[in-house]
Amino acid sequence: MVTKTVYLQDNEEMLNVFGPQDENLRMIENEFDVSLVTYGNTLMIKGQKAKVSQAYRMVQELSEQVRRGYRIDRKGFRNIVDNSRFYTDKTEAKTTIPDKDNEDSICYTIKGKKIAPRSKNQKKYVQAIKKYDMVFGVGPAGTGKTYLAVAMAIAALRAEKVFRIILTRPVVEAGEKLGFLPGDLYDKVDPYLRPLYDAFYEIMGAEEFHHLRDEGVIEIVPLAYMRGRTLNDAFIVLDEAQNTNPEQMKMFLTRIGFETTTVIVGDITQIDLQNKKQSGLVQIRHILKGISGIKFIDFTGRDVVRHVLVKKIIKAYEEFEETTAKGTK
């Protein structure tokens, strides 16, 4: 039997972590087969070592989410439980951001939720965007690469550090040719750009987004439309960069003007080009190696902030690809 102690900051945090009538504590006891004892703002967790470690991480995650301004409903509680079970070794458990890093908050959503990095790599990513003129975020789906870049762009716009936001991505046809889709060119490319709208809707709301887009303050355009432009005083995000070819990547990177922050994000495991070896994102790391003012941040499955199943799927793929690679040697 072992005991671990959690110290909560104040009564409000305690009430939110414990839940209505200590509902969260009872569920933690049932889920992890531990005993919880409270003394004021102190929570003691008793039980077998492995179970206590899982429950301890669970309470820490609950406490962190509360301090960031999130409301924990039953679905959110379930996801945190699954995350606590999924990561078992000490290295993975340390990916949670410590309490002292709450100053890394970026902005708030339209519903008042605080947006802040939730893993070590996300924190490095946000800090890099603040420090460097050009940042590459490379890693699997669900790691917050695009979402955090959009949040940083909106924060920079509201602080008048930039005067426009430009989001772009390559239009890669996957089975259905653009020419056969209905409507004009904007209608044809809209399905490819639609995923970029989601973060704006969540953070600033559809009404403000459409107003700023109509005013030209926010642009969401296909990558081909970037040719010939020079972009000053802007925050630029290139999404799905793994689907650029080397010529497109060079064209994009040479659009950058003065007082501009550029973030390039992509996942080299999801290249839709016919010749995957010709991805501009794969090639560019070698070309730009050693150039000051540029930073590469690599994300892993540990940084996934979507449903815990996404973590499991990514980890399964990583193990499968590793096994396959060994088998072909």
Give the pLDDT confidence score for residue 20 in this predicted structure. 81
Mean pLDDT, rounded, for 169-181 = 57
Compute the half-sphere exposure of residue 314: CA atoms within 13 Å on the CB side of its CA.
22
Chain CA centroid to CA 22, Å: 31
Amino acid letter, residue 41: N
Give the pLDDT confidence score for residue 187 in this predicted structure. 61
Q: Dihedral angle at the C-alpha atoms of 227, 231, 236, 242, nearest 10 degrees?
A: 30
Give the pLDDT confidence score for residue 138 in this predicted structure. 95
Residue 260 clears pLDDT 90, i.e. is over it:
yes
Task: Name the residue with tokens 């003065």.
Answer: 258
Specify which residues 44 forms β-bridges with.
5, 37
Give the pLDDT confidence score for residue 26 in this predicted structure. 87
Alpha-carbon gap, residue 305 to 65, rounded angstroms: 13
Q: Smallest Cα–Cα separation from 147: which of 115, 101, 110, 189?
A: 115
Alpha-carbon gap, residue 326 to 317, rounded angstroms: 14
Give the pLDDT confidence score for residue 186 in this predicted structure. 55
Better-predicted residue by pLDDT, 283 or 83: 283
* DSSP 8-state secondary structure symbol assigned to residue 205: -
pLDDT level of residue 94 (50, 70, 90 thresholds): very low
What value does the CA radius of gyration of the chain take, rounded to a whole number of Å? Answer: 22
pLDDT level of residue 199 (50, 70, 90 thresholds): confident
Q: How high does pLDDT run on average in the chain?
A: 80
Better-predicted residue by pLDDT, 324 or 71: 324
Q: Smallest Cα–Cα separation from 161: which of 234, 238, 263?
A: 234
pTM of the model: 0.63
Amino acid letter, residue 215: E
Specify which residues 37 forms β-bridges with.
44
pLDDT level of residue 316 (50, 70, 90 thresholds): confident
Helix axes 195-204, 145-158, angle to 10 degrees: 50
Give the pLDDT confidence score for residue 300 in this predicted structure. 86
Structure tokens at 267: 């996942």
Structure tokens at 262: 């550029």
